Amino acid sequence: MATQTASSRKSLLLLISQHPELGVIASFSIIALAFLVISPDKFPTSSTLYSILTLAGELGVTSIGVAFLMITGEFNLSVGSVYALVPMFVVLMVDAGMDMLLASVIMLSVAFGIGVLTGYITVRTGIPSFITSLGMMMFLRGILLAITGGFPVRLEGSHWLTDVLNGAVGVEGLRTSAAWLLALTLIFLIILDYTPYGNWTYAVGASPATARELGVKVWRVKLVNFGISSLLAGLAGLMALSRFKIVDPTLGQGLELEAITSAVLGGCLLTGGYGSIFGTFLGALLVALTRVGLVLAGAPAYWYSAFIGVILIIATIINTYVVRKFVTSG
Amino acid sequence: MDKLLEMRGIVKRFGRVEALRGVDFHVNRAEVVGLVGDNGAGKSTLVKTIVGVYHPDEGEIYWEGKPTIFRDPGEARAAGIEIVYQHLALIDLLSISRNIFLGREPVKRIGPIAFLDRRAMDEQSWEIIKSIGLRRLRSPSERVAKLSGGERQSVAIGRAMHFKAKLLILDEPTAALSVRETRKVLDHVLEVKNQGVSVIIISHNIYHVYEVSDRIVVLDHGRKILDVRKEEVTPEDVIEVIRKGEPLQKAGS
């Protein structure tokens, strides 16, 4: 009997240490419950769910890439700029007569290249990626403002690709971005936890020197993951374009920090080597849930940021405690 | 005799410091060589030169009779050299099984995609954990951060032995171990030798080295000052050579 309790306690500890997303599941449930109590008739409806999914779509797709790179031990602050750059150039190309699919493929390749370049500068010089990607963020944003003169550009005509990327499904507000978010979450969750490449990603994030000694190509993993973070940000930007049909040169400002928020809520450590894609997905949902819930509760929109700030700090305190207690201590 | 590894006239400089000053060194097949010497003698530099962490400035290296200089540890590993570093090369945040198979994960292909064969990883890790005799049996999915110093050392050695190397290099394998754990490690050295594996064992503890070695090599300030079959010396002789930093003066000679 005693040994049974001991072993079930031990497996509980193992469960906690293996699931960085437990914290976000708990906070998500608590906050959802709170909104349920505050607005019992408006909150639990399918249109509320669809609003949350729509808000979470673009943020979530960006956050997955940011989280994947964060687990690799690096930051990419330029995702917000790439999020605007890709749709901006796609609009300019399409309005000049190019096919939208072709323009998108070209610009997504450019986005991947921008990420790899940021990564290359980072690993080559040894400068922290916080700085290199900050520089890239400002550089790209400057280009956007310069070529548009600060004015938004509009996507003319209709294009089947916008329906695929973020079209309405039915009349209640569900959009295809939800499917993209779910699919990409699943794909990157599988890559991270069920392929050798994911194992290398964890290892590079936790200890690049040791990973190198054991034959992992550290540079390649970092460059590819920088590229992925940028690529997903570009894709999310195209999803935003598909929803609004217009791109403002300031689109996505601050998105890099919201993406980091989702990743950290989801259990990713800023120091790398630890985190969860599913947790990040829930982190993005939690951010969206908070925004929608506050509106339904009748709170002024300004409160949203304050609320997220508090949630972020509390969740991080809990996550840090869990990591110290169950993961890194002997 | 059939030489598995031979190094001739190896010189390695770091800036103006000559860490290795023309070292000749070899390992025969199924032979255990004890590599000893004081701090800074060049033992770790020598083994890191073998596995391609460092590249020699002068000299030649022959692996299985062919001139070979490994570009990086991955290449040396692929050729059949396993090294257990003093710092063990384990990643705290990863599970035991992920550590054991890092860089050479078993995969199961489904279509074009190679997935981790997690069951094989866990099963083989479990075998390794049992064979190295951790005091408490640990689940392969436990993180390395949770292990004691001796348990980590056992996992690192278990990993190296699992991959059927031709040459196993152990850098201070018993430094952090209890008496019981040390016994295990020394038994393992003899066991792999019987399977035909060659071993280089570096240690400060001459008695541990002496017990398992066939031959003893002493380095001092980047030079080899002793290279004898174990039967020709006593552990006390070896300690004397290391202390004086000069070759053995036999009484009466």
- Give the pLDDT confidence of B154-189 residue by residue, as tens digits: 888 888 888 878 999 999 887 777 787 788 888 888
Residue that the structure tokens 């973020």 belong to: A166
Nearest chain A Cα distance for residue B232, angstroms: 37
Q: Do B148 and A330 touch (CB under 8 A)?
A: yes
Across the A/B interface, how many CB contacts are shorter than 8 Å? 87
Lowest mean pLDDT among A9-23, A45-59, B9-23, B76-90: A9-23
∠ CA A227-A228-A234, nearest 5°, is 90
Q: In this complex, which of A14, A214, A273 lies closest to B102 when CB atoms are compared?
A: A214
pLDDT at A44: 87
ipTM over 0.95: no
Angle value at C-alpha B184, between B181 and B190, nearest 5 degrees: 150
- Closest residue, chain B, to A71 (C-alpha): B93
CATH number, domain containing residue A215:
1.10.3470
Higher pLDDT among residues A246 and A3, named by residue:
A246
B102 reaches A (C-beta below 8 A) = yes
Nearest CA in chain A to B48: A213
The CATH architecture one would assign to domain B3-94+166-244 is 3-Layer(aba) Sandwich (3.40)
Q: What is the mean pLDDT of chain B?
A: 88
Q: What are the sequence ranges of the domains in chain B?
A: 3-94+166-244
pLDDT of B17 > 80? The answer is yes
Q: To which residue do tokens 């390695």 refer?
A: B12
CB A114, CB A82: distance < 8 Å: yes
Contacts of A198 in chain B (CB under 8 A): 116
How many structural domains compose chain A?
Answer: 1
Q: Is residue A268 part of a domain?
A: yes
A216 CB within 8 Å of a chain B CB: yes
Q: Is B103 left (phi over 0), alpha (psi -120 to 50) or beta?
A: left
Does the pLDDT of residue A3 top 80, yes or no? no
- Residue B147 to residue A330, Cβ atoms within 8 A: yes
Percent of chain A surpassing pLDDT 90? 73
Percent of chain B with pLDDT over 90: 56
Q: Which of A34-43, A277-286, B190-199 has the highest mean pLDDT?
A: A277-286
**A3 and chain B: CB distance < 8 Å anywhere?**
no
B142 vs A contacts (CB less than 8 Å): 14, 17
User: Quick check: A254 pLDDT over 60?
Assistant: yes
Q: Look-up: residue for tokens 């949203």? A: A304
pLDDT at B253 over 50: no
Residue A216 counted as domain residue: yes
Percent of chain B with pLDDT over 70: 96
- Say if CB A227 and CB A115 are below 8 A apart: yes
pLDDT at residue B104 is higher than 60: yes
Summarize the confidence of residues A47-66 as an average pLDDT.
96
Can you say whether the dihedral through the CA atoms of A127, A128, A133, A135 is positive or negative?
A: negative
The amino acid sitting at B210 is Y
Q: Determine, yes or no, domain membership for A106.
A: yes
- Band (pLDDT 50/70/90 cuts) for residue A322 is confident
- Rounded to 5 degrees, what angle do the CA atoms B137, A318, A282 make? 95
Q: Give me the mean pLDDT over the B7-25 stretch.
A: 94
Nearest-by-CA chain B residue for A323: B93
pLDDT band at B252 (very low <50, low <70, confident <90, very high): very low
Asked if residue B135 has pLDDT above 70, the reply is no
pLDDT value, residue A149 = 93
Contact B94 A328 (CB under 8 A): no
The predicted model gives A90-119 an average pLDDT of 97
In the predicted structure, residue B5 carries a pLDDT above the cut 50: yes
CB contact under 8 A, B94 and A202: yes
Structure confidence at residue A5 (pLDDT): 62
Q: Chain B residues with CB inside 8 Å of A70's CB? A: none
Task: Choose from A214, A219, A329 for mutation: most chain B CBs within 10 A.
Answer: A214
Q: B133 falls in which pLDDT band (50, 70, 90)?
A: low
Q: Which of A193-207, B138-152, B218-232 has the lowest mean pLDDT?
A: B138-152
Q: In chain B, which residues have their Cβ closer than 8 Å to the Cβ of A329?
A: 145-146
Confidence tier at B223 by pLDDT (50, 70, 90):
very high
Q: Do A330 and B102 touch (CB under 8 A)?
A: no
Residue A12, domain member (yes or no): no
Point out the least confidently predicted range of A10-24, A69-83, A205-219, B154-168.
A10-24
Contact A206 B91 (CB under 8 A): yes
Per the domain annotation, does A208 fall within a domain?
yes
Residues 8-47 on B with a CB inside 8 Å of A are: none
Q: Are A327 and B143 in contact (CB under 8 A)?
A: yes
What is chain B's length? Answer: 253
| Residues A140-197 pLDDT 10s | 999 999 999 999 999 998 899 999 999 999 888 899 999 999 999 999 999 999 999 9
**Which residues of chain A are within 8 Å of residue B113 when distances are taken between CB atoms?**
195
Task: Compute the average pLDDT of residues B191-219.
Answer: 92
The pLDDT value recorded for residue A106 is 98
Structure confidence at residue A114 (pLDDT)? 98
Classify residue A211: in a domain, yes or no.
yes
Residue of B nearest to A209 (CA): B89
Cα distance between residue A176 and residue A53, in whole Å: 10
Contact B145 A329 (CB under 8 A): yes
Count H helices and E strands in chain A, helices first.
14, 4
In this predicted model, which residue has the larger pLDDT, A330 or A225? A225
Residue A272: its pLDDT value, please? 93
Segment 173-232 of chain B within 8 Å of chain A by CB: none
Residues of A in contact with B90 (CB under 8 A): 210
Q: Among B88, B227, B237, B64, which residue's Cα sits nearest to residue B149?
A: B88
Beta-carbon contacts of A64 under 8 Å, excluding residues fewer than 6 positions away, are A184, A185, A188, A232, A277, A280, A281
Closest partner residue to B116 among A199, A211, A212, by Cβ? A199
Distance CA B182, CA A217 (A): 34
Q: Which is nearest to B94 in space by CA: A204, A35, A282, A183?
A: A204
SS3 category, B221: coil
Q: Please give, rounded to a whole number of angstroms, the shortest distance from the CA of B28 to a CA of chain A.
A: 25
Please spell the DSSP secondary structure of B65-117, one letter per residue: TEE---SSHHHHHHHTEEEE-TTTT--TTSBHHHHHTTTS--EEEETTEEEE-
Whether the per-residue pLDDT at A234 is higher than 90: the answer is: yes
User: CB-CB: which of A17, A190, A194 is closest to B143?
Assistant: A17
Q: Is B52 on the interface with A (CB under 8 A)?
A: no
